Amino acid sequence: MAKGPGAARSFLLTFVILGLLSGCASDSGHSNLQHQTRAQNDTPLMDSARSGDLEAVVALAEAGHSLNTVTEQGTPLMAAVSAGEDRVAWYLLSEGADPDLTGPGGETPLMEAAAAGSRRLVQLLLSAGARVNAVDRNGYTPVIRAAEEGNLAVVKVLLTAGANVNVSQGGESLLMKIVGSGDLLTAEMLLAAGADVNYRAADGSTALDRARAIQNQDLEMLLVQAGARP
């Protein structure tokens, strides 16, 4: 049976109203995800995130405070990660906080978590899409930060997630840095992951030269067995 013009008008009106309501809901749900910059070092949301006050963080977020505000001390997510506040970090990420938003130095929350050795936060950030090979202004990446701090479990997580094992910083490869620090276990992991044992720095030195410089025979033997050339 054909429908009359009244039914058609009613259907069209209902469709328009539903569309408007849907649009309003969408706008209100994402209004606190816009990137903002604040001149002051702290904001109420950053203070609450740093102190681990999840109830206050939720209340502020629901009141429209931006989850992606950047100050000289970073973002609310960075504040939570730096303080080791897993629950707050999880909430911010679940609400859409940008996992790669950086502060003035270009450091990401993943770099901070990697340096701190927090495997749980590292996995949380990676699951939220954080860039595993992000680089800050000084050339550091998450895996460099983890390796230099001797956080072997975190290094393993990052390499599994696709971290570049042959990354370099300051003219040295990651392997050279680790060998120079005398860290045998991390050096073994990097070599197993495919680190270039014969990478040469700008001055022509290699990881083997670093091992000999600190007179570490275990590292020297490890590198030679991995194919290091004199």
Q: For tokens 């700008």, what's the residue?
A: 202
CATH superfamily membership of 35-98 = Ankyrin repeat-containing domain (1.25.40.20)
Alpha carbons 175 and 170: distance in angstroms, whole number:
13
Ramachandran angles phi, psi of 130, nearest 5°: -60, 140
Better pLDDT: 43 or 214: 214
pLDDT, average across residues 118-134: 98
Residues 6+ apart with CB under 8 A from 50: 79, 80, 82, 83, 85
Give pLDDT, residue 37. Answer: 62
Residue 5 predicted with pLDDT over 80? no
Q: Which CATH number fits domain 166-230: 3.40.50.740, 1.25.40.20, 3.40.1280.10, 3.40.50.300?
A: 1.25.40.20
Residue ranges per structural domain of the chain: 35-98, 100-164, 166-230
pLDDT, average across residues 27-55: 74
Residue 3 predicted with pLDDT over 80? no
Q: For 69-86, how does the pLDDT look when each residue is reduced to its tens digit (9 = 90+)?
A: 998 888 999 999 999 999
Q: Do 35-98 and 100-164 agree at the fold level?
A: yes
The pLDDT confidence band at residue 38, using thresholds 50, 70 and 90, is low
The predicted model scores a pTM of 0.83
Q: Which CATH architecture has domain 100-164?
A: Alpha Horseshoe (1.25)
Q: For 129-165, how does the pLDDT look when each residue is reduced to its tens digit (9 = 90+)?
A: 999 999 999 999 999 999 999 999 999 999 999 999 9
